Each structure stands twice: as structure tokens, then as C-alpha cells.
Homo-oligomer: A and B are copies of this chain.
């Protein structure tokens, strides 16, 4: 039932494009869901992609454009005149149209807007361009249906029929007063089953009406929709006037982007990148963390240099440097990952910091006792009694320290409104390395009486 992209299909398509075989393309491409056509276009060569896109029906061109990668989208757009772009924009939802158009230069934006024949659509797009793209205002669309509180059902159906022409999917009908202030909502279901003379007043739901302000942060919108299990959420301005709606599909994209960003931050990548970005862009996103790690390594080198005499006398001390740094790093990352996630989910907002630290310390104690005992035996294999004791004692101290540190850093970052996901990256690892080395060599120097 679903379309599956195969190498055979792609080869046949390339051939059809080269031979301008419209019959094949019509029956094998035009019939597909726009998301699948977008998937196909992504796999083609740049010139084939543009050629195929231009053959497509206007109805789906805009939707497909929205699904493509940024650079492919740009190449395709460049192959059209501003007039043609304006025509494609008119067929898009206002939020998508605003997203697309915002990628042009101010001059081009003006030119394209001027070419949009539907003045209402043009107004909507211009209005949406005012909002920051990371807010509810930037996420919302102007397509929604609303009913006045004093309408009867039959008037409502007539008005909705008019409004609904532009609204692809109606999830909820918003009920407003005569000044367009949001009062509640009405499901299509209740409208469908109500008698024609019933007043909206007596039908609508005014309890627990969830809405978001235009200035609300993207992530906040996602949290609210997730918490209240919403399919769409109305957006209101400071006067509680209904100005737009956000649908769940756009929020799913926000959630996925956010998860991706956190995952990359925790992996030491500072900008959102995709595997098809240029070598230079990928390098730029990655080098900041590597520089921090290198700075950390240099500071570590300085710590060890302080104990150079000790290493000359007992070279075996050097054996366990990687073990100490690796364990400190891993324990720290584990601890901070848990804190970062509990912060992201806002779970247990009143659980005190001391409580969190206490629990982490307890977990670290259990891990520390288990692992230190184990390493004592292992170190014996390398050297006489003293080395085992040095590694074992310092590993214990490093585990406790790294756990407390890994818990503390994200809490501090969060307090100062810095994304705590930063902490699970090389940040915690690097700092734990330095302190771990200091603990290890201090214990070593004392026990070996160097």
C-alpha cells in the first residue's frame, strides 16, 4: 500500500526524465503522496530534480518544496520567476508560505508578495513574517475556522463552509466573542449532531480552554500540546484575540529538531548539522568542542607535568591515566544526562537540588565500591600492592566527584538559562579529566611516598 523507493524505480525515473517520457512519469510519480514525491526528488541529481519538479502539478509543488533540504529547495526556487513562486505560495498554508518566503532577500520578498493575487493570502503572509520563527507566532498558520458565540448551528454551518475552503484540515472550531476574543471551542462532531437552531452558546466548551500567546517559545508550545494531548492549539495575542492556530504536525517537527539538537550538543556538535552539509559547515560545528577538549588535555598535561618526578620513579603510575580519565568522564556524562532529561521534562520541579545530589552520591557510592574493589584486583596484575591501592582509592574518589560534578553543572547552567544539554558534552568530561588526574597523582604521590 505504501510506496517504497527502490534503486530500480530511481533508474527507471532517471531514464523517463532523460527521455521526457511523460506517460511513465504521470502514472508512476503523479499518483504518489507528495511526501513520497519529495523523497524521490531528494534522491535525484540536482538537474533531474529541478526538471521533475517543474513537471509537477501546481497543487503539490509547494507542499513538496517544504519537505526538501534547504540547498535543494534553493536551487529549485531559483529556477522559477517571482511570479511563478508567488503562484506556488498561494497554494500553501500561510505558515509554510511564510517560512519559504523568509529565505529570500527583503527585496525579493517585496517583489514576490506584490505578485500574490489573493490579497488576503498576501496579508496573512506579511503578518506572519513579523513573528520570530522560534515562537508560537512564527509557528502558527492563519487558516483556522471560528464561530461567533451567538450564532445558531445552521448559520455556523453556512459560515464554516465559506471559511473552511481555505482550511485543509479542521480539527476544532474556535468560538469567539464579537471582538474575536477566544472563549472556547467546539468539535465538528458536536456540530454535526446538533439540531440547526441550537445556539453555539449552548453547545461549546468553555472549560479548560488551552491557548498559547504569540510570544510563547516553540518548546513551550510543544510541551503544552504534549501535556494536554492536543491536535491543534489556538494562538492569541496580548488581548486574548484569536490570531492563528498551530497544528500538531508542525510541533512534531519541533520536538524532533529539539531532540536532535540535544543529542548533537551532548555529542559535542555545536550547530545543527546534517550529514549532507558541506565539509566546511560540518567542521565549523565541530571544532569548538575539539578546541575545548584540547584545552582540557593541555591542562591535564600540566597536572601530570607537576608530578613528573613521581612518574620517573614509578613509571607504572602512567598506566592507569586513561582508566581514571575515562571513568571520570563516563560517570559524569551519565549523571548529567539524567539531570538534563529531568530538567527538560520539568518533572519534579520542586525536588530540591540537595535531594538530587544526595541520590547521585548514593548511586556513585554503590558504583564506586563495586568498581574500586574490582580494579584493585586488576591493578595487582600490573604491579605490587601499592599501585592497586592507589588506583582503587583514587578511582573511588573520582567516581564520587564526577557524579556530584555531573549533577551540579547542568543545574547551574539551567539556573543561568544556558541549555543544560551542553553539560553532557565534552564540558563535563574535560573538567572531570583534570580533577581526576589531580586526585590520582596526589593519592599516588602520598602512597608511594615520593
Contacts and interface: CB of A to CB of B under 8 A. Distances in A.
Given A326-B296, A330-B290, A371-B294, A264 B341 contact: yes
A231 interface: yes
Contact of A269 (B312, B338, B350): B338
A341 B290 contact: no
A259 interface: yes
B189 A283 contact: no
A252 B388 CA distance: 50
Interface residues of A, number: 129
A318 B334 contact: no
A33 B210 CA distance: 9
Number of copies: 2
A323 B305 contact: no
A178 B35 CA distance: 31
A119 interface: no
Nearest to A7: B350
A235 to B, nearest CB: 12
Given A267-B424, A282-B359, A283-B363, 10 more contacts: A231-B247, A259-B259, A273-B338, A275-B359, A279-B366, A294-B327, A302-B319, A312-B315, A315-B315, A330-B426
Interface in A43-96: 43
A1 B211 contact: yes
Nearest to A2: B210
A191 interface: yes
A23 interface: no
A208 B330 contact: no
Nearest to A286: B334
A305 B260 contact: no
Interface string A304-330: 110010011001101111111111011
B320 A322 contact: no
Nearest to A63: B229
Interface in A1-26: 1-2, 5, 7, 10
